[in-house]
Chain A
Amino acid sequence: MLKAHQEAEVDIVDRLPTPFGLVRSGVAPDHPETKVVVNQFSRVAQHQRCSFFGNVTLGSSISLAELRELYDVVVLAYGAESDRVLGIPGEDLLGIQSAREFVWWYNGHPDCRCLNPDLKSTDTAVILGQGNVALDVARILLRPPTELATTDISSHALAALEESNIRKVYLVGRRGPVQAACTTKELREVLGIRDLYVHLQKDLVKTPIDEEELKNNRIQRRVYELLTKAATSGPSHPSSGQRELHFVFFRKPDRKPDRFFESHERSGYVSGVRLEKTALQGVEPGKQIAIGTNQYEDLGCGSVLKSIGYKSLPVDGLPFDHKKGIVPNIKGRVISDAQKDPPVLEKGLYVCGWLKRGPTGIIGTNHYCAEETVASISEDVERGLVASSASLPKPGREGLLQVLDDRNVRVLPFSAWEKIDSEERRLGSLRNKPREKLVTWEDIMKVAD
């Protein structure tokens, strides 16, 4: 936006005092090279025509309607902060959590400081899902904690992992290795964890539709090759005391009640899950779904992590497609009525990122997505569709500051983050870590002062 419009002032509003979204709360601690992009983000935030408003929550600090009155253009890029659910009874037993919460916990997100996953009472964790987030979770559970001690992992998570009794992790996928959602780099990394026994079932067969899927998809092809190679190479048994990673394909949690087993010793806690074997059925070219076959097997475990996808949250005054979990849009322009032809659009309202496309893709994907949304904004500005017909310009930044001040909302500008950043790095240097994250709202606000 700043590049495309030399007169534009751009304000970034975030409910957290710390910027950068998933780069801070989602990227794993042992992937520091992926976080280098914060340097680019910082330069944007420090740009003279850009202002960061931290600790301002859409909905409670300020409404969407108010923002649209204050600014010519509002772009919603708040991602997906909730989870898809299995929709199975027993899903809320203790010991069953979403991977998102677990990731926020080890990454020091203040909302999950007190998650307290129990890693001591059990030696087995079952992860439902085989995407990159599932692999991240497995890797953090299985890597020797000494290797994590020099990363920016939150100290409460490091302490829990140092005392963890988890020795076996299962990565369970509904479909087969051809459909595995992870990418090669991440898969290669998890297969290479030091002193880890990796096991895959040997009866991995490819259907003709699988071959079709693989033909035009380089990533899937290379992932499949890596998985089948791992299935046939390596030792057939773990050595004594070795940690284990098991890839389980063609299994989904049974949908009937009581299929998440409750522990007899610890009331309210999960002690296992019943899985149903699946078979693939083609539904359209290049797409197969998993259907149950009425054969079952049970997996005992004290921890279940659901990694089946994120979901966006709706907001008052915002059109929302509950089925897809996104805001209906055309190249980023929010649609208010899709029934009409042409669809009616919301003036001056746009979306970008996961809220626009659904929760998939990497940092680079959002770069391209942002370009598309900005192109839509630029076209609309040029066609006079954005500026208000009234003669007064919108209040913008000054207006927002005034409203928030009236409401006693404490805005934390980018300079506050710079203080937090500096303190985290200082604390980290005392422990040979790149940073020691401040993880409670109190600590963050104290330093931001």
Chain B
Amino acid sequence: MFILFALPGSMQQLKQSETKVSKGAIFQKYHHFSSAATKDSSEEGSEEKQTISVTFVDKDGEEKHIKDVEYYNKLEDPTDEENDMLDLAFGLTETSRLGCQVIATPELDGVRLAIPAHTRNFAVDGYVPKPH
């Protein structure tokens, strides 16, 4: 299961499916690493590209209990539907959101995201789901 960023206005809108089966990242090895997400506004005719940096912290990382309330508050409130799904999530905290609802914006530059301890890749054969 990917944590993917839906980029507003982008041609490459990626959203993970909201199945109840699994939540979390596909990352099999647990590492502390950074990733970049790019916003491409070429649709609007502008050449503006912005990169934000996102740090993932694994379950063995030092910063286990991420409570970046400041970043959390920058997100739109969860809808009832998202809250209904969060009800069933493992390892839920007060600053938990569904990965597909965390939309990358310049304001989130530097955000740190912790992935729940009970995260697994369901696919047997390294199958990579198609973005949809």
Contacts and interface: CB of A to CB of B under 8 A. Distances in A.
Contact of B92 (A184, A218, A362): A218
Interface stretch (A31-39, A55-63, A435-443): A31-39
Interface string B99-132: 0000000000000000000101011110100000
Contacts of A204: none
Contacts of B125: 43, 47
A2 B126 CA distance: 12
Interface string A157-186: 000000000000000000000000001110
Contacts of B46: none
B87 A364 contact: no
A409 B73 CA distance: 62
Contact of B90 (A44, A188, A368): A368
A363 interface: yes
A44 B124 contact: yes
A183 B84 contact: yes
A40 B123 contact: yes
A34 B20 CA distance: 7
B90 A222 contact: no
B19 interface: yes
Interface residues of B, number: 23
Nearest to B127: A43
B17 A188 contact: no
Chain B at the A interface: SS class? loop
Interface size class of A (residues with CB under 8 A): 20 to 34
Contacts of A426: none
B69 interface: no
Nearest to A362: B20
Nearest to A223: B87
Contacts of A362: 20, 88
Given A184-B87, A185-B84, A218-B92, A368 B19 contact: no
B122 A40 contact: yes
A371 B84 contact: no
Contacts of B90: 368
Given A33-B18, A184-B83, A185-B85, 4 more contacts: A47-B124, A183-B84, A183-B88, A367-B120
30 contacts: A2-B124, A33-B18, A34-B20, A36-B17, A36-B19, A40-B123, A43-B125, A44-B124, A47-B125, A183-B87, A183-B88, A184-B83, A184-B87, A185-B81, A185-B84, A218-B92, A219-B87, A222-B83, A222-B84, A222-B87, A362-B20, A362-B88, A363-B21, A364-B20, A364-B21, A367-B21, A367-B122, A368-B90, A368-B118, A371-B120
